[in-house]
Chain A
Amino acid sequence: MDKRALESLKDVGIKGNEKERAGSYFLSNRSVLMSRINRSFKDKLEVMDIKDALKKHSWLRDYYWKIVDKDQDEYTKAAYEKEDGGYFIRVFEGEKVDLPLQSCMLVSADEFSQKVHNVIIAERGSEANIISGCLAHPGVGKAEHIGISEFYIKDNAKLNFTMTHRWNESTVVRPRSSALIGDSGKFVSNYICLNPVKSLQMYPKALCNGKGSAAVLNSLVFGDGGSCFDIGSRVLLNGHGSRGEVVSRTIAKGKSTVIARGMLEGNAKSKAHLECSGLLLSRNAKIHAVPELFANTPEADLSHEAAVGKIAEKEIIYLMSRGVSKEEAASIITRGFMDVTIFGLPEKLRRSVQDVMDKAIKGF
């Protein structure tokens, strides 16, 4: 990996220092650059390329292409026909992994269409945090990234997955993800994209099938230039007493368009909330918020709030009355809007994500 690529890894929270990570997986185009576990965690988890994992564990077929439909669309079909790699992460039963794991998918060649497939299994009672960075090499022009991810959070397990994307205005990105959550399991997914992209479309879903299962899906997206984002999160509440929370914060600037979707489907006694906030920073940008609630039983308690608009004048005035200029006030409000504390991350991970955020929003 060259210097520029290494430098850009920091922008997506990826560290070269193995001491700070429980395990790492790096893929550049279709070459696996690294797939290893920090020695202290050898008995707690597995990290390997998906192809190797499929050879090693025949049972993995029971998880592979099981909650993402290969026929869902042209992108899943393309990934099914030809995969370039992807990671398999498995946290063993009852193991609490206190250092984050990390994965990195780099597109480093022009005109390359990277198709990856990841399977993540958090076994019963396990706990882990994963930082995932997907990015285009700074020197790359037109490219495509299709990422299939299947998450399995077993009974009483907790998985926190934080994904940061950094593309460019010529990249087309199509992540396709699903999570299946068992009894009292919890899945937290945080998504950050603060750089321009040509087109990014994703609508991951969390299947809260277990009793008392929970899913929290947060996203922070900053659309600039001519970027087109069509993003959202779905939570299907199938388990008795399941809970869901979807929080989406989007900013649109330049001539960007952001469609921010959110869907809660209550099929059992459940409770979930959807929050969709959008901030327009230019006259030519557009935000379209699409919150949807489907209650298929009277025992489903679903709610949502959505707000889209420019920065409120009263907030600007308030900060100005404290002695900051109008421009500084707008910057403070914008930075606050993209506050990573909504992710509820563990302190070490929060600092790491905050560093990524601070770097990206320096120019706000």
Chain B
Amino acid sequence: MAEEILRIKSLYVRAGKKEIIKGLDLNIGIGKPYILLGPNGAGKSTLLMAVAGIISGSAARGKILYFGKDISTKAADQRARLGISSGFQMPPEIKGVKLKDMIKICTGKSQSEELSADELKLAERFKLTEFLERDINVDFSGGEKKRAELMQVLLMRPKLLLIDEPDSGVDIESLKFIGTEIADYIKKNNASALIITHQGSILEYLKAEKAFVLLNGRIECSGRPEEIITHISKKGYEGCEDCKSPMKNG
């Protein structure tokens, strides 16, 4: 059995004509959360989209091994069914598709089936009961979108969670809830996660195994999350470039 859930080898990803990810290598172990840091525009979301299959084909070259098997040619839906689930930073609004419809999609139910008692209970825990009949993400606040995203991700029972900035634009209470939910899920299900964060606020509720720093299209540094965040907050990402940690490339 592979020790890593995810191994990325020499990944190149383009957005339009611009190459964003330039020969990136990264490994993620089983049953642990990891965080991904980097300045705005470094390509963090692009990397998550490439792993999820949202960017694929000729726009993403390289190997993405999931439990040791190359999934780089698989479409987003196939990867989702394999257990890779992504929470979007800016999820789209879809008219006429209700939050309850999304729950059915995430759990593989037909649209004519009713939500189970457990699903209703989960919606209540996420304070989303009154949103079930509403069009997904339409007039949701930032915090409501984050909660709806995370709820859908967890309902898919993933083995690998890819979450884009769960701690941005949310109040302290929501941050605590989101952080705790992710941590509990990972612990109970021996799942792994790759989480993008800017300030690392989520780390207060979730003990990450390692932090990766994405710079110039590559993982330029990795190590203990608290140390790296302290270093960045003191010296900025320019300091990371100077540092060139020996733990480079995870």
B partners with A: yes
Say how far A325's CB is from chain B's closest CB, in angstroms. Answer: 5
Q: Which of A113-121, A226-234, A293-301, A313-321 contacts B (4 or more CB under 8 A)?
A: A313-321
Chain B residues whose C-beta falls within 8 Å of the C-beta of A317 in the assembled complex? 54, 76
Given A322-B106, A323-B105, A338 and B96 contact (CB-CB distance below 8 Å): yes
* Contact of A321 with B86 in the complex, beta carbons under 8 Å: yes
* Cα A255 to Cα B94 with chains together (Å): 26
* Contact of A277 with B95 in the complex, beta carbons under 8 Å: yes
Chain A residues whose C-beta falls within 8 Å of the C-beta of B54 in the assembled complex? 317, 320-321
* Contact of B95 with A339 in the complex, beta carbons under 8 Å: yes
* Contact of B94 with A336 in the complex, beta carbons under 8 Å: yes
* Contact of B88 with A318 in the complex, beta carbons under 8 Å: yes
Which residues 314-360 of A have a CB within 8 angstroms of B? 314-315, 317-326, 329, 332-333, 335-339, 341-342
A1 interface hit (Cβ, 8 Å)? no
Complex interface bits, B106-131 against A, C-beta within 8 A gives 1, otherwise 0: 10100000000000000000000000
Closest to A329 in B: B77
* Cα A338 to Cα B96 with chains together (Å): 7
* Contact of A315 with B92 in the complex, beta carbons under 8 Å: yes
Set B95, B96, B102: member contacting A322, Cβ < 8 A: B102
Chain A residues whose C-beta falls within 8 Å of the C-beta of B220 in the assembled complex? none
With most chain A CB atoms within 10 A of its CB, the pick from B80, B97, B156 is B97
B11 interface hit (Cβ, 8 Å)? no
Q: How many residues of A contact B (CB 8 A)?
A: 24
* Contact of A337 with B96 in the complex, beta carbons under 8 Å: yes
* Cα A338 to Cα B97 with chains together (Å): 10
B91 interface hit (Cβ, 8 Å)? yes
Chain B residues whose C-beta falls within 8 Å of the C-beta of A324 in the assembled complex? 77, 105
Chain B residues whose C-beta falls within 8 Å of the C-beta of A321 in the assembled complex? 52-54, 76-77, 80, 85-86, 88
Complex interface bits, B76-89 against A, C-beta within 8 A gives 1, otherwise 0: 11001100011010
Chain A residues whose C-beta falls within 8 Å of the C-beta of B156 in the assembled complex? 322-323
Complex interface bits, B154-185 against A, C-beta within 8 A gives 1, otherwise 0: 00100000000000000000000000000000
Closest to A312 in B: B92
B25 interface hit (Cβ, 8 Å)? no
Closest to A323 in B: B80
B152 interface hit (Cβ, 8 Å)? yes
Chain A residues whose C-beta falls within 8 Å of the C-beta of B108 in the assembled complex? 323
Which residues 62-83 of B have a CB within 8 angstroms of A? 75-77, 80-81
Say how far A166's CB is from chain B's closest CB, in angstroms. Answer: 22
Chain B residues whose C-beta falls within 8 Å of the C-beta of A318 in the assembled complex? 88, 91-92, 94
* Contact of A314 with B152 in the complex, beta carbons under 8 Å: no
With most chain A CB atoms within 10 A of its CB, the pick from B54, B81, B94 is B94
Set A312, A322, A335: member contacting B105, Cβ < 8 A: A322
Say how far A320's CB is from chain B's closest CB, in angstroms. Answer: 4
Which residues 274-315 of A have a CB within 8 angstroms of B? 277, 312, 314-315
Chain B residues whose C-beta falls within 8 Å of the C-beta of A314 in the assembled complex? 92
Say how far B167's CB is from chain A's closest CB, in angstroms. Answer: 20
* Cα A325 to Cα B75 with chains together (Å): 9
Say how far B51's CB is from chain A's closest CB, in angstroms. Answer: 11
Set B52, B81, B96: member contacting A335, Cβ < 8 A: B96
* Contact of B77 with A326 in the complex, beta carbons under 8 Å: yes
Complex interface bits, A147-164 against B, C-beta within 8 A gives 1, otherwise 0: 000000000000000000
* Cα A277 to Cα B77 with chains together (Å): 28
Closest to A337 in B: B96
Which residues 31-77 of B have a CB within 8 angstroms of A? 52-54, 75-77
* Cα A179 to Cα B4 with chains together (Å): 68
Set B53, B75, B105: member contacting A319, Cβ < 8 A: B105
Say how far A316's CB is from chain B's closest CB, in angstroms. Answer: 9
Closest to A313 in B: B92
* Cα A326 to Cα B80 with chains together (Å): 13
Chain A residues whose C-beta falls within 8 Å of the C-beta of B53 in the assembled complex? 320-321
Closest to B82 in A: A323
Chain B residues whose C-beta falls within 8 Å of the C-beta of A333 in the assembled complex? 94, 96-97
* Contact of B75 with A336 in the complex, beta carbons under 8 Å: no
With most chain B CB atoms within 10 A of its CB, the pick from A277, A322, A323, A339 is A322
* Cα A323 to Cα B157 with chains together (Å): 12
With most chain B CB atoms within 10 A of its CB, the pick from A312, A318, A326, A329 is A318
* Contact of A323 with B81 in the complex, beta carbons under 8 Å: yes
Say how far A353's CB is from chain B's closest CB, in angstroms. Answer: 14
Given A321-B52, A322-B152, A315 and B94 contact (CB-CB distance below 8 Å): yes
* Cα A233 to Cα B242 with chains together (Å): 65
Chain A residues whose C-beta falls within 8 Å of the C-beta of B133 in the assembled complex? 341
A sample of 5 inter-chain contacts (CB < 8 A) reads A320-B80, A322-B106, A335-B96, A336-B96, A338-B96
Sample of 16 further A-B pairs with CB below 8 A, known A326-B77, A336-B97, A341-B133: A317-B76, A318-B94, A319-B94, A320-B54, A320-B76, A320-B77, A321-B77, A321-B86, A322-B102, A322-B105, A322-B106, A322-B156, A323-B81, A325-B75, A325-B77, A329-B77
